[in-house]
Structure 1
């Protein structure tokens, strides 16, 4: 699936988050997804919440998998480990550089690095595993 097909799929299957995410880059190595940070993504103190950062990592790997397999709506997260390393910069979007490490018949494993836009140091790192439904 290309960027347009992925975003159409996300809008159709997950309309509750369709306006939160955008694909900045999609290529053979992975995907860069943008979280359009809004007030609903913030926690007290004005920083992006952990659940919002998790969602960005999770959606990014989901889109990386769909880009390779096609519209497999029932692929689901089976594991996620996330390290929050520094506070995101206030008032800017978050970016997630995600790459597939393994894409098998039943499992996909990926790595995600989250950055505040314009910054070089990651704010979080996540390792995720997805279960792929049998064909």
Structure 2
């Protein structure tokens, strides 16, 4: 069972990132996996109707963060340590979906595999590997 539900994740994101308008929505939170959906508007597009790279990277970072939360629960000081993204093909469409799976989680780091695709598309538009640094747990008896 996930440590955080999709409803809890959406409440957290809308409270933590008020200035962004938070147009993305967490649609799935299951143990080790999260999915985020974004209905794109003109602020997300490049000429030609392409979903911009920064939009895709933001979705990747958000969904990776949520995937970690499925295992740790709400940990606000969990932070991005590394994000490596490969843009595989044009990302053109009205709705973008990012799907993250935790590959490994330890005491200090979590590593996620993330695919970004247009909703309903078979092939990913981009693929990322994201590493998050986890907050240190207080030592027992300290």
TM tier relative to shorter chain:
over 0.9
Shift of 1:29: 4.2
Alpha-carbon separation, structure 2, partners of 1:18 and 1:74: 22
Picking from 96, 99, 111, the partner of 2:98 is 96
Shift of 1:52: 0.4
Larger radius of gyration: 2
Picking from 107, 118, 121, the partner of 2:123 is 121
Q: What is residue 7 of structure 1 aligned with on the other side?
A: 10
Query: 1:113, 1:125 within 8 Å by CA — same for their partners in 2?
Result: yes
Q: TM-score, normalised by structure 2?
A: 0.88
Shift of 1:44: 2.2
Q: What is residue 68 of structure 1 aligned with on the other side?
A: 71
Shift of 1:19: 2.9
Q: Aligned residue pairs: how many?
A: 134
Q: What is residue 20 of structure 1 aligned with on the other side?
A: 23
For structure 1, list consecutive stretches of 5 or more residues without a partner in the other structure: none
* Change beyond 3 A, Cα 1:21–1:86: same
For structure 2, list consecutive stretches of 5 or more residues without a partner in the other structure: 138-142
Q: TM-score, normalised by structure 1?
A: 0.92
Q: Which deviates the most, 5-14 or 120-129?
A: 5-14
Q: What is residue 34 of structure 1 aligned with on the other side?
A: 37
Query: 1:57, 1:126 within 8 Å by CA — same for their partners in 2?
Result: yes
Q: What is residue 134 of structure 1 aligned with on the other side?
A: 136
